[in-house]
Amino acid sequence: IFIMIVLGVESSCDETGLALYDTSAGLLSHALYSQVAMHEQYGGVVPELASRDHIRRAIPLLQQVLDDAALTRDRIDAIAYTQGPGLAGALLVGASVACGLGLALGKPVLGIHHLEGHLLSPLLASDPPAFPFIALLVSGGHTQLMRVDGVGRYTLLGETLDDAAGEAFDKSAKLLGLGYPGGPAISRMAEFGDPLAYKLPRPMLHSKDFNFSFSGLKTAVLTVVKNHPGNVCEQDKANIARGFVDAMVDVLVAKSLSALKHTGLKRLVVAGGVGANRQLRDALNAAAVKKHFRVYYPELEFCTDNGAMIAFAGGLRLKQDPRLATHDYAFNVRPR
């Protein structure tokens, strides 16, 4: 049998995540440092600051996951790191930590696609879905519907033609003065909003494909804010947030349902940061009961960026083909 301890390193954006995954025993340990507080004052991620902070955090976090798993460095069999997409400088930090460590320990390294990490993260849960399934991948940088037939067997059904779902959340939150990151803030605000106050557009809801478009929804929020007489009071902010969330959720649910219908599959996996959204989960859970399918989510802590999903994806890839990990430490990253 194939047993390997894989170290995962994630540094594509504003979280430094490290984890140790044992291909037979499961996740051994994971640690995360979020830079959110640092970027908050700028209203978004500042790439240069992100890179520098990854440098500060990576090695202490490595020590932490080793300590938590009661292992020494030499027990690591392979190292998986996020190769992209993401911020170039941020990715380079994770890649150099991974490859430097690999070189020092004489252990092989393997670059992982960040979205594959997100895509497979629901399999880390205690009751994981079986293949095949439909994956709705909704993060700050991506919005995709995929058919997943197995590890590495992904068919893109549709994706956003402009803004990602999380990006629309963040930009709309900014327009409402709700700070960064906007997703959780706009979601909380929406709870107090009147669903009938603002009916915002649902872009491409009836397009006969699986693509999305969210820039118009964000522009609709801008228009409402601009045309608002005087300052937008708290209740109005909540109403606009509610209009936004309802429109977003309607589109995401409708497209997911049509992907299930089109493929005849009965399992939907939701991954990426927006998958943490309460309103989206409530709507998908309700649809699942009505339409007789099952919906799976990663553990809440593995919805947003983390090292566990990278270690896990690395472990699954290596199980399939151990030769994927190489001793070529001349790393490169793929920001796009």
* Residue 141 assigned ligand-binding role: yes
Q: Considering beta carbons, is residue 164 or 173 the nearer one to Zn ion?
A: 164
Instruction: Check binding of 305 to Zn ion (CB under 5 A).
Output: yes
Compute CA distances 111 → 44, 45, 59, 196, 283, whole Å. 27, 23, 19, 47, 35
Instruction: Check binding of 15 to Zn ion (CB under 5 A).
Output: no
Compute CA distances 283 → 35, 236, 246, 257, whole Å. 30, 23, 10, 11
| Window contacting ligand KG4 (CB under 6 A); options: 28-36, 101-109, 261-269, 271-279 | 271-279
Fill in the per-residue mask, 89 to 128: x = in contact with Zn ion (CB under 5 A), - = not in contact: ----------------------------------------
The answer to whether the Cα torsion of 327, 328, 330, 332 is positive or negative is negative
Q: Considering beta carbons, is residue 4 or 173 the nearer one to Zn ion?
A: 173
| Minimum distance of ligand KG4 from residue 110's CB (angstroms) | 19
Instruction: Check binding of 139 to Zn ion (CB under 5 A).
Output: yes
Task: Yes or no: say if 132 and 123 are a contact pair by the CB < 8 Å rule.
Answer: no
For ligand KG4, which residue of 93, 304, 314, 325 counts as binding (CB under 6 A)? 304
Q: What one-character-per-residue DSSP string does 181-210 give? A: SHHHHHHHHHTTS-TTT-----TTTT-SSS
| Minimum distance of ligand KG4 from residue 214's CB (angstroms) | 11
* Residue 139 assigned ligand-binding role: yes
Q: Quick check: helix, strand or coil at residue 53?
A: helix
**CA neighbor of 140 nearest in space, from 118, 112, 108:** 118
| Window contacting Zn ion (CB under 5 A); options: 93-101, 139-147, 262-270, 325-333 | 139-147
**CA neighbor of 111 nearest in space, from 139, 86, 145:** 86
Q: Considering beta carbons, is residue 39 or 317 the nearer one to ligand KG4?
A: 39
Of Zn ion, ligand KG4, none, which one does residue 314 interact with (CB within 5 to 8 Å by kind)?
A: none
Name the maximum alpha-carbon separation found in the chain.
68
Query: What's the rounded Cα separation, in Å, for the pair 276 and 21?
Result: 23
**How far does CA 188 lie from the centroid of its chain?**
19
Instruction: Check binding of 187 to Zn ion (CB under 5 A).
Output: no
| Window contacting ligand KG4 (CB under 6 A); options: 39-47, 97-105, 137-145, 315-323 | 137-145
* Residue 183 assigned ligand-binding role: yes
Of ligand KG4, Zn ion, none, which one does residue 169 interact with (CB within 5 to 8 Å by kind)?
A: ligand KG4
| Minimum distance of ligand KG4 from residue 141's CB (angstroms) | 4
Round the CA-based radius of gyration of the chain to a whole number and report it: 20
∠ at Cα 35 (99, 238), nearest 5°?
140
* Residue 206 assigned ligand-binding role: no
Compute CA distances 116 → 144, 161, 209, 256, whole Å. 12, 20, 23, 19
Instruction: Check binding of 307 to ligand KG4 (CB under 6 A).
Output: no
Q: Which residues are annotated as a binding site for substrate?
A: 137-141, 170, 183, 277
Q: Which residues bind Zn ion (CB under 5 A)?
A: 139, 305
Q: Which residues bind ligand KG4 (CB under 6 A)?
A: 13, 139-141, 166, 169-170, 181-184, 187, 272-274, 276-277, 304-305
